[in-house]
């Protein structure tokens, strides 16, 4: 009885296609149960892999319910910009109504300059701990003094570490895509049309021109082995060799180049030949 079961489990099968007229064998394949199971599993794995590649690397993924496409991301960024503008309008109207009430009641109106100064001072005190700032300043001074002690070259200029530098914000807007060291070693900033792009530090323009992929691009060399890169601009205001200072307008934000999918600034920050995260050193 056991021999019959073993023979049944290891039975081989043959699938043959025969010409009905001549009875010639056109195609024959031999198989058993084990081969069928392996074939089915392999086919399922291949189909799953093809489906995953189709969803991960093609626009088909945008048809998945709840998956954000490029249009929805763009709309979300534009809504954030409009919301910020509406908050500013509401603040101005509140200030106007308050001053109007004060004038009607015979009180002295609020001075806008003093209000802005007080607001800036309160924000600075709320976001920065004076004790922590004093501690960092003392440590930085000690480091600079220790380096100066052994500096025998009178004409050599001292450069602060990148953490101690004050960077100017290149563009006021919303970061649409953040920094990723492996996949996206730079950031994308979305802003309204005709917004001005500015240099983050003093430096010299080392290249300014057109690229089919990156559009109007400008690169600036700064002290401390720092390079800043600005891509996809609508118009460049500086040319190669120009000297710039921090906050100098250098371009107009745009949508040029084949890699651009909307008006934004592609911004890169390099330190000693390595791309770094700009958000660690610049307030956007």
| pLDDT band per the 50, 70, 90 thresholds, residue 93 | confident
- What is the overall mean pLDDT for the chain? 80
Q: How far apart are CA 190 and CA 10, in angstroms?
A: 67
- When mean pLDDT is compared across 75-79, 157-161, 194-198, 276-280, the lowest value belongs to 157-161
pTM beyond 0.85: no
Segment 43-52, tens digit of pLDDT: 999 999 988 8
Q: How far apart are CA 82 and CA 230, in angstroms?
A: 24
Task: Give the residue from 83, 264, 101 showing the smallest Cα distance to 171.
Answer: 264
Helix, strand, coil percent values for the chain (each to nearest 5)? 40, 25, 35
Segment 106-148, tens digit of pLDDT: 777 766 555 555 555 555 555 556 677 777 777 777 766 665 5
Segment 233-255, tens digit of pLDDT: 999 999 999 999 999 999 999 99
Segment 162-216, tens digit of pLDDT: 887 889 999 988 999 999 988 899 999 999 888 999 999 999 999 999 999 999 9
């Amino acid at each position: 009885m056991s021999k019959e079961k073993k023979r049944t489990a290891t039975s081989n099968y043959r699938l043959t296609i025969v010409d009905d007229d001549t009875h010639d064998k056109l195609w024959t394949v031999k198989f058993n149960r084990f081969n069928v199971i392996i074939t089915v599993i392999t086919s399922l794995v291949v189909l799953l892999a093809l489906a995953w590649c189709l969803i991960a690397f093609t626009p088909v993924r945008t048809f998945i319910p709840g998956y954000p496409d490029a249009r929805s991301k763009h709309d979300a960024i534009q809504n954030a910009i409009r919301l910020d503008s509406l908050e500013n309008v509401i603040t101005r109207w509140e200030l106007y109504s308050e001053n109007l009430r004060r004038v009607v009641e015979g009180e002295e109106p609020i001075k806008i300059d003093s209000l802005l100064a007080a607001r800036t001072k309160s924000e600075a005190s709320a976001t920065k701990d004076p004790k922590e700032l004093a501690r960092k300043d003392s440590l930085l001074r000690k480091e600079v003094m220790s380096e100066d002690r052994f500096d025998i070259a009178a004409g050599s200029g001292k450069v602060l570490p990148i953490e101690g530098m004050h960077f100017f914000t290149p563009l006021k807007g919303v970061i649409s895509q953040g920094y990723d060291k492996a996949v996206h070693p730079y950031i994308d900033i979305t802003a309204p049309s005709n917004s001005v792009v500015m240099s983050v530090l003093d430096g010299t323009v080392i290249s300014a021109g057109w690229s089919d992929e990156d559009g109007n691009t400008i690169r600036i060399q700064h002290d401390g082995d720092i390079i800043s890169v600005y891509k996809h601009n609508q118009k460049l205001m500086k040319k190669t060799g120009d000297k710039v200072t921090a906050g100098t307008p250098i371009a107009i934000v745009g949508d040029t180049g084949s890699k651009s999918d909307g008006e934004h600034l592609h911004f890169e920050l390099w330190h000693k030949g390595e791309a770094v995260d700009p958000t660690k050193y610049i307030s956007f």
